Every structure is written in C-alpha cells, then in structure tokens.
Structure 1
Amino acid sequence: MVDSQYWWLIAFPAFFGLGWLAARIDIKHVLSETRSLPAAYFKGLNYLLNGETNRAVDVYVEVARHHVETVELQFTLGHLFRRRGELERAIRMHQKLLARPELNDAQRQQAQFELAQDFMAAGLYDRAEAILTELQHTDYARQARTELLGVYQQEKAWRKAIEIAQQLRDDSHSYQHEIAQFHCELAEQAIARSQPDEARAELEAALVANRQCARARALQGELAIQAGNPATAIEFWLAIESQDPDYLALVARPLLAAYDATDRADEGTLLLTRLLSQYPDLDVLELLYERIMSKSGMDAAYAFIRDRLRNHPTMPGLRRVLETHLLIAPDNEKADLEIIVKLLNEATREQSMYYCSHCGFKARQYFWHCPACTSWESFAPVRGKRSRNAQ
C-alpha cells in the first residue's frame, strides 16, 4: 500500500512534464508555420473578414505572383475572382491549377469542381456538365450531382434532372417535390406538342412521385377541357382540395367556366362561396365578387362583399367594399371616396403580389419555379403570403 502511494507521487509530475513538453513542441510548430506565411496573407485575410473582397483579391494576386507553390491560396484566389464576377480570371486560375502535375487526386478534383462552378456562373453549361459528369465517380460525387441538377434545370433537360434527383435522394431530402415538378414540366412540353397521351403519362408519374402535387391535378383538368370533357376537369380540379385547398385559387376561374359549360352555373357559384367560407384565406374573393356581380347584379355583389368583410375583415375586402360603394355613392361623396380608395390601393399594393418564401422575390403572376432563386413550390397560391410548402 505504501509503495502504491509513492508510485503516484512520482508518476504525477512525470505526466505533467510530458504534457508541458508536448504543448511546447506544438506551439513551436505553429509559430514556425505562421512565420513561414507572408505577412500579406494575413492582410488579405483581414480584408476578407471585414467584407472588403476587392482589396483582399488585390493582395492575394500579389502574394500568388511570388508564391506560386501555395495551392490553397490559388484556390482562394480563384474563388474570390468568381465571387466578384471576374469569371474569365477565375477560369484561367483554375485551368492553370489543373495543368500543374504535382497536384494530388483530391486537389485535382477540387480544381475541376471549382472550374465547373466557374463555367456555370459564366453560362457555359455544356462545359460545366462535362466536368461534373466526370466527377460523379470521385469523392465529389454528391456535390457534382447537386450542381448537375442545377445545370439540367437551366437547360430544361427534365429527364436528366429526374435521373440525377433520384440519385440524390436520401433521408435528409426526398426530392419528391422536385421530381414531380420535372414530370409536370415534361407534361407541359407534351401539351405544347399536342401529345395529350404523353402528357397524361407524365402527370401520373408526377403524382406517383408526390401525391400532393397540385400542379399535376391542375394540368389534368386542363387536358380534360382540351379533350372536351368539362365534367372530368371539374373532378380533377376539385381533387386539389384534398391536397392543399389554397391551390384551388389557381384553377378557380376555369373551374367556374367548366360549371358553366355543363349548365351548372349556380352550383359553381355556390361551391366557390362554400370554399371561401370554409377556407378564409382562399384567394378567390375578387373572382367571386365578379361572378355575383355578373350573375345577380350590383346590389347582390355589394351585400356579399359587406357580409364577407364583417365575417373576415381584410384590407383587400375593405378596398373592394369602398370601390363598390363608390359606384353607388351620391356625387357629393365621390371625390372623398376616390381619395380614400386611391390611398387604400397604394397601401394594399404589396398584398396583390405573390412572394417567394426562399428569397422574397415578388411577382404579379404565379410561379411554380422561382425565377430568382430557382426554388420549387416556394410561392404561396395566396397573394401577399409566404408559402407553407417551401423546401
């Protein structure tokens, strides 16, 4: 027992000394490596941290000129060129890196991937595709496929996009929304070529990929109308309610036209009234107001919009009430009402736009694919609101 106590008295200082020695060696190594870096490197890093990209690039260009052996610095410089839009310089930088025989496999793959991104940024999709296809069998396989998916979407090569998206599927992202949308794009191409059978097959494939794809149901209804079957179109469009009722707003106008074509005009009006009552955010208020105005007259439309405002007060509803009241108001009240309506229109302008929930892009027309950030289903079918289905 005594020997054991003495052993710890000896071992503890020994372990402490070894730890101190290891720390000293590591510190010396770090200091040695730090001194070997040019001072300008840290100057450039400071510019980067301060967000002064242009000044950082100027510094790194000078460093690279005198230290061509620093591969990582060359990568950093190429990335900075691309970031500030100097794509030709970025391409040349990465091409020079690829020409260096001393690069190992990992560095060569990185240079290829960076060059592919340069080509994509420059709109040279065919060159980017060639490099990214090569990289599918390397450690950069997933990144390459992700970028290839972007290339195929830009080129509207939807079948290739479906294939790549299926390869990318994993537990973190099923790509079911994207794959369904790609099939819908193929369906629209088939419709444009007057090939309804092919379009129907693509829409069925879209629904297999994503049973909740409202766009597929909307296009199925469109095909039924083209085939002269408005009753079938109504069935397809009403099926959207079980997917996401808000998307009914996108087919509400042709839906009413289909009811009219089957001599069920009143049923169509009652249906839309019921849907608006059941789903207060459904973006059909203007359409239903127009419908009642044309079928039953101004008094009925005015009564409808006032009742709607009481039960579900909104700024667009108030605007419509005032616009209707302006039509029937005495002449001595119209000047003041016109000013109020004008101010209200300006105040509610933003509520007449569709918004992308990913990037905030706004537009008067609805997009399934955001023109700004290329996200799918990121626009809510309700003007003035963000999508609940953003990926």
Structure 2
Amino acid sequence: MDYELWWLLGIPVFFGLGWIAARVDIKHLISESRTLPRGYFKGLNFLLNDQPDKAIDAFIEIVKHDPETADMHFALGNLFRRRGEIERAIRVHQNLLSRPDLPQEQQAHAQYELGMDYLKAGLLDRAEETFNKLLDTQYGAQARRALLEIFQREKEWERAIESARGLQESGAGARQKEIAQFYCELAQDALVKMNSDEAMALLDKAVQADRNNVRATILIGDAQLAKGDIEGALVTWRRVEQQSVPHVALVAQRLMDGYRAVGRPQEGVNLLRSYLAEASSFDLVEVVFKAVIELDGVEAARALVSEELRRNPTLLGLDKLLEARLMDAPAHIWEELSTVKNLVHGYTQKMSRYQCSHCGFKARQYYWQCPGCSRWETYPPRRTEELNVMN
C-alpha cells in the first residue's frame, strides 16, 4: 500500500519537472529566434515562395548589417550562382576565404563553393586548381567528381581515368563503365592517327574495365579492319549480338561492307535479315533495304519493307515503303506518290532522332556520351518513334 501511495505522490512531481523543462526550452528558443535578423525570415519566406530575387535583396541587407554571418554568405553565394550572376558569387566566396577567423571546416566549404563558381563560369583551370586543394579534406569526393567533369570537358581522358579510379578507391561508387569509355576515346583518337596497334592496346584495357562494353567491341573490329584483317573484323562485329541485340544496328553497315569486301555479300544480307527478325530496327532495315535492291532487285526490297511495316507499323517504315514504290511506279501515279512521299519524309525527319533516356536530349546521330547531360551510354540504339511503338 505504501509503495502505491509513493508512486501516486510522485506523478505530480514528475509532471512539474516536465513543465519546467518545457518552459526553459521554449524561452531558449524564443531568445534565439529574437537574435536572428528579421531579414532572415523575410528571405526564407521569399525562397519558399520561389522568389529568389527578393530573397537575395533580403540576405544582402543581413550581410551588410552583420558581415560575420558565414552561413548567410553561403546562402547568398549559392543564390547568385543559381541566377547566373557568377561574378557576384565568386566575390562572396572569395570574401569568405579572406577571413582569418573562418573555421577550417567552413574554409573548405567556401573553397568548394568557389570551385563550383569557376566551373559554372567555364573557368576550368581555376576550378581545377581550387578542387585540387580539397582532395585531402571532407570535400574530397565532391572535388574528385568535379575534377572528373572538368577532365571530360577538356577531353583529357588519361586524367579522367585517374580521377575515376580515385573516386572508386574513395568508396564513391563504381566507375568501370566510364573508365572503359575513356579508354575507347583514347583508342578512337589513335585510330584517327592510323595507329591501330596503340588502339588495340587501349581497347584491351577498355574490355578489362567493362567486358560488356559494346563500343569497345565495335572499335576492336575497326582496328582489325585498319590492319587489313577483314575476316577478323567481321568475327568481332558479330560478337555485338551476344552483348546487346539492339546494338547490331550500329554495326550493320560495317558488316555489309565487310562481306562485300570479301566477296560474300549474300551471306551478309542473310545475316542482317536474321538480326532483323530478332530485333527490328529502322537503321537495320535501311542497310538491308539497300543491299537487297543491289542483289535481288526492287521487288524483293519492296517485299522486305512491306513485311517490316506489318510487323512494326511506323511512319519511318511507311516512308521507306513509299521510296520502294516510287522506284518502279507507273508514270500516271508517280507524281502523286512522290507528293505523299515528300510529306511523309518531311515529318519523319523530325521523328528519326535518338533520345537520351536520362535528360531527353535528341540528336540525329548516335552518341555514346549525351551532349546534353554528359552521361555515358544513355542513348538507346533505336529511333524515338520505334521506342514509342514498343512502349
């Protein structure tokens, strides 16, 4: 009985202590909020209402009255950079770095933000110098990512490889696909300079980095062709099917030219038609269509595109069928067919684009690195209309 009475008496005591603690916390919070400048809340409200111009004006007033507020300088600098006022952002972050009382952690933060300003402004040399100072700080991973972007912009592929490996070793995620692409870039430069042996050595490293890299396989075939080994190139290009069936469209013309060079064009057509049955593609149809006209005549080519149009009804296919019809159309309907063909062709020109799966950037030609977002291997090897039909 005494035990239960003791607990009943203790309840009001505990409640009172909790009330006192809450009052103390509330008073502390109120006192802290009163010390914040009024402009801070105004600026925050403008930001929440998506009014960055008014937010900047409010934050500038705070900085004028309290120039020691480092956090406000960071907010202001970032707002300037987002608006494209890079010179003002640079001045804000340089002013922060010039303060002798700035803690080391905030110095590194200011250094990083300054590097991002330089990067946004296109001052790549200054950005690189700034990020190099951060490699041994808490901003090391962010600095390496920025350096990797710089080296790619400058097409310094060897330094990009070194930077990507540094990111991997720091635990910032795998970069094998990118490293393989960097080796492919170096190999492509070597092929342009007619140095096929160097290209083969670089492509071997690309394959070691990413065994499923389709581009490396295609370039190995190109290097073999440059050395005069046509049969070897054909064998290599045929391996693309094992890596990615849709990508065979990218080597279709190479294969057809190769089989013509060794005197076996019909074998090439048969191979490409088997690919077409497995993975239809407008680019593949284009190559087979021309080859069939050359070997089997217009009627066989028309039958080919008619069959493909039934399997995959697209305007791109219709455009190709009209082209085949025009080749032997009677004179009395030729002009009418030609008008329809021109109308369809004009429309399909806008649709026959490759599209980045990450940012949506469209291009007439196929890119391994998207010109819009700079990501690698984001272009499906099919035209946009074909992808829309498939989806």
Same fold, judged at TM 0.5 (above)? yes
- The aligned amino acid for 1:174 is A
| Contact 1:246–1:283 (Cα < 8 Å) also in 2 | no
SS in structure 1 opposite 2:135? helix
Equivalent residue, structure 2, for 1:213: 213
Deviates most, 377-386 or 91-100: 377-386
| Equivalent runs, 1:312-351 vs 2, <5 Å | 312-351=312-351
The count of residues paired between Structure 1 and Structure 2 equals 386
1:146 aligns with 2:145: yes
| Contact 1:247–1:381 (Cα < 8 Å) also in 2 | yes
User: Structure 1 residues 303 and 60 mapped into 2: Cα distance closer, same or farther (>3 Å)?
Assistant: same
Deviates most, 199-208 or 315-324: 315-324
- The aligned amino acid for 2:367 is F
1:160 aligns with 2:122: no
Equivalent residue, structure 2, for 1:174: 174
Superposed CA deviations along residues 120-162 of structure 1, whole A, max 9, x for unmatched, are 1111212211221221111111111111111111122212211
1:235 aligns with 2:254: no
| Contact 1:237–1:251 (Cα < 8 Å) also in 2 | yes
| Separation (CA, whole Å) in 2 of partners of 1:306 and 1:168 | 52
| Separation (CA, whole Å) in 2 of partners of 1:335 and 1:195 | 51
| Equivalent runs, 1:338-377 vs 2, <5 Å | 338-377=338-377
Superposed CA deviations along residues 269-289 of structure 1, whole A, max 9, x for unmatched, are 000000010112473111111
Equivalent residue, structure 2, for 1:7: 6
SS in structure 1 opposite 2:100? coil
| Separation (CA, whole Å) in 2 of partners of 1:126 and 1:178 | 23
| Equivalent runs, 1:15-54 vs 2, <5 Å | 15-54=14-53
- The aligned amino acid for 1:181 is Q
- The aligned amino acid for 2:78 is H
Task: Could you list the structure 1 runs, at least 4 aligned residues long, displaced by more than 6 angstroms after superposition.
Answer: none
Tell me the CA shift for residue 32 of structure 1. Answer: 1.9
| Contact 2:187–2:202 (Cα < 8 Å) also in 1 | yes
User: Structure 1 residues 310 and 204 mapped into 2: Cα distance closer, same or farther (>3 Å)?
Assistant: same
Equivalent residue, structure 1, for 2:222: 222
- The aligned amino acid for 2:137 is T
| Separation (CA, whole Å) in 2 of partners of 1:325 and 1:132 | 61
Superposed CA deviations along residues 320-350 of structure 1, whole A, max 9, x for unmatched, are 2123223433444445434443443344344
Equivalent residue, structure 2, for 1:83: 82
Tell me the CA shift for residue 247 of structure 1. Answer: 1.5
- The aligned amino acid for 2:256 is L
| Contact 2:196–2:226 (Cα < 8 Å) also in 1 | no
User: Structure 1 residues 298 and 109 mapped into 2: Cα distance closer, same or farther (>3 Å)?
Assistant: same
User: Structure 1 residues 53 and 339 mapped into 2: Cα distance closer, same or farther (>3 Å)?
Assistant: farther
| Contact 1:44–1:59 (Cα < 8 Å) also in 2 | yes
Superposed CA deviations along residues 7-63 of structure 1, whole A, max 9, x for unmatched, are 321333333322222222222222222222222222222222222222222222222
User: Structure 1 residues 325 and 195 mapped into 2: Cα distance closer, same or farther (>3 Å)?
Assistant: closer
- The aligned amino acid for 1:289 is F
Equivalent residue, structure 2, for 1:272: 272
SS in structure 1 opposite 2:134? helix
SS in structure 2 opposite 1:103? coil
- Structure 2: 5+ residue runs without aligned partners? none
| Separation (CA, whole Å) in 1 of partners of 2:42 and 2:326 | 67
Tell me the CA shift for residue 72 of structure 1. Answer: 0.4
| Separation (CA, whole Å) in 1 of partners of 2:24 and 2:205 | 63
- The aligned amino acid for 2:127 is A
User: Structure 1 residues 195 and 336 mapped into 2: Cα distance closer, same or farther (>3 Å)?
Assistant: closer
SS in structure 2 opposite 1:313? coil
| Contact 2:352–2:385 (Cα < 8 Å) also in 1 | no
| Separation (CA, whole Å) in 2 of partners of 1:342 and 1:261 | 34
| Separation (CA, whole Å) in 2 of partners of 1:176 and 1:3 | 73
| Separation (CA, whole Å) in 1 of partners of 2:48 and 2:321 | 54
What TM-score, normalized to structure 2?
0.93
- Structure 1: 5+ residue runs without aligned partners? none
What TM-score, normalized to structure 1?
0.93
- The aligned amino acid for 1:138 is T
| Separation (CA, whole Å) in 2 of partners of 1:339 and 1:386 | 24
Deviates most, 328-337 or 289-298: 328-337
Equivalent residue, structure 2, for 1:284: 284
SS in structure 2 opposite 1:22? helix
User: Structure 1 residues 22 and 118 mapped into 2: Cα distance closer, same or farther (>3 Å)?
Assistant: same
Deviates most, 359-368 or 35-44: 35-44
Superposed CA deviations along residues 102-133 of structure 1, whole A, max 9, x for unmatched, are 11111111000000101111112122112212
| Separation (CA, whole Å) in 2 of partners of 1:226 and 1:264 | 20
